Amino acid sequence: MKKFFIPILLAALILLSIGSLFALRDEENLYSSIRLVGRIITETYTKYVDDFDLQKAIEAGISGMLSTLDPHTVYFEEKQYEDLKVDTRGKFEGLGIVIGIRDNVLTVISPIEGTPAYRMGVRAGDQIVKIEGKSTRGIIIEQAVKKLRGPRGTKVTISIRRPGEPKLLDYTITRDVIEIKSVPFYGMIDDEIGYIRLTRFSQDASTEVAEALKSLKEEGMKSLIFDLRSNPGGLLRQAVEVAGLFLPENSLIVSTRGRKSYHSQDFRSFAPPEFDEGKLVVLVNPGSASASEIVAGAIQDNDRGLTLGQETFGKGLVQSVIDLGNNTALKITTAKYYIPSGRCIQKENYLKRKETAIYSRYYTGEEEEKLPEEEEETEEDTTRELFYTLGGRVVYGGGGITPDVKVEQQKLNRLEIELERKSMFFGFAIEYTKTHKELSPDFEVTDEMLDEFKEYLTRSEFEFKTRPQEELENLKKILDESDVDSSAYESLIPFEKILENEKEEEFGESIDYIKHSIKREIVSALWGEKERYRQTVLKYDPDIKKAVEILGTPGEYEKYFALTEK
């Protein structure tokens, strides 16, 4: 009797709890749908052949329902809710990556600087298709976090699909304690140009940025490069406060719009700015998301500065966490972010997936659905909605922030990927610094150091194959299966020698990257992350070099603010 009573009571409670909603959305037959759910629970629990865990079944049903919405609306069981609370404290044990679901695939939004994943070369946009050999198809973020986090010193292998790479890349990464600093570095590039790196919007982000601005102004800063690349976001209030450091008081920064009136509001700067007159360039990339996009978009739309780099991630959904009791919670998307020009930050690819419960509300099914990788987005793309900045410049909708100055993202060749993936630079730096203490932070990588690096690669049994060599290996396998005459193998020998010589040439083509990477890891090992910025990032980073060129060339900065005819 008890077993029969529980589901009946549960169904009744469900019906009562949503009774008030029925009057609001009668057209969707909400009452009928909930009654059906209640009956299914009752019939299944009382008549199924085996006894089963009702709570677990209901939780699975809840997760299944929410999975038909956007990737950020999820139900937290007790352990997951505890993990969520840990996230807000900014310290955990894991790999050092921020992940999300993009186009139904588990994707790296950004690696966190100085962490194991960052040092091994994991990049924003990498798709994690396997964890410990098991497919991530259909996985939700919270399940992925649970698999990727773990005690310091333990290892986990992830298989990554990267655009342009024909095969999966396997990374075996040792977990570590991840402590995230909001502003890991700031300093002067020359006598007038300052630089600030902001990695996340934590509770102290605006305070740290304000202190950095004050210090740089005391050193004579007239122009600033503000680096938001691979910054996955954080607290909304901090985004408003950080943007307010650069904008006049009472400037519109971002608006939220939801179905409920209390989820729709405008956020404006509410204090005098710290740096509102000098030249400003904001660096962004595909790893810049959420709060980063709010700040970059507010600066762009208010014509306060230029954005430079690559198009941002496009994460403009606002979540609210509702405590459901018993240490469980519902994180639900309640609004979207809109920046001052009226553009929505969110890329709405999730609306176009036919398996979602949202699709039919936006599409009739007659439209030709294009996958994201098939969509072409250019500066003159007439299919994108036009918006205008405060000064009248044209900007484009469609989600994410399109930078004013586009710089192609640096792409690594096969050799460079393998050197990073197998931690060759990091390992060499640890070995080299044991016996070479005479270096100064501004040292240059010599030919002798390169020779030692090559010897280290040999001792470490480092091997990699170019793409043509892999194709040649595949051809040999086909010949084996075909049982052809041995003369066919002999005909391949000249090609093998040619490809081996080309591999040697690839090392020469990558010599600048190799030198910079060796220096990066040696400087980090001997003098830490801040010196790494001074000696490598500020000197060699292509986005920073382009920003310095724009800020230092008379009239170059101003030309980007020329009006486009409406």
Give the residue numbers annotated as catalytic, written as ranges. Answer: 290, 301, 315
User: 260 - beta bridge partners?
Assistant: none
Task: Specify whether the CB–CB gap between 274 and 214 falls below 8 A.
Answer: yes
Local structure of residue 535 (DSSP, 8 states): I
Q: 276-291 burial, b for 16+ CB within 10 Å, e for fewer? A: bebbbbbbbbbbbbbb
Task: Specify whether the CB–CB gap between 229 and 285 falls below 8 A.
Answer: yes
Task: Specify whether the CB–CB gap between 160 and 126 falls below 8 A.
Answer: yes
Task: Specify whether the CB–CB gap between 94 and 150 falls below 8 A.
Answer: yes
Contacts 24+ apart (CB under 8 A), 537-543: 537/185, 538/187, 538/189, 538/195, 540/516, 542/407, 542/410, 543/229, 543/283, 543/285, 543/308, 543/309, 543/407
Looking up tokens 């519902």, which residue turns up?
A: 330
Task: Specify whether the CB–CB gap between 301 and 388 falls below 8 A.
Answer: no
Rounded-to-10 torsion of CA 119, 123, 127, 131: 10
* Residues 489, 312: Cα–Cα separation, whole Å: 49
Q: What is the phi/psi pair of residue 312, to 5°?
A: -80, 175
Which residues, in sequence order, are CB contacts of 368 under 8 Å at separation 6+? none
3-state secondary structure 118-141: HHCCCCCCCEEEEECCEECCCCCH
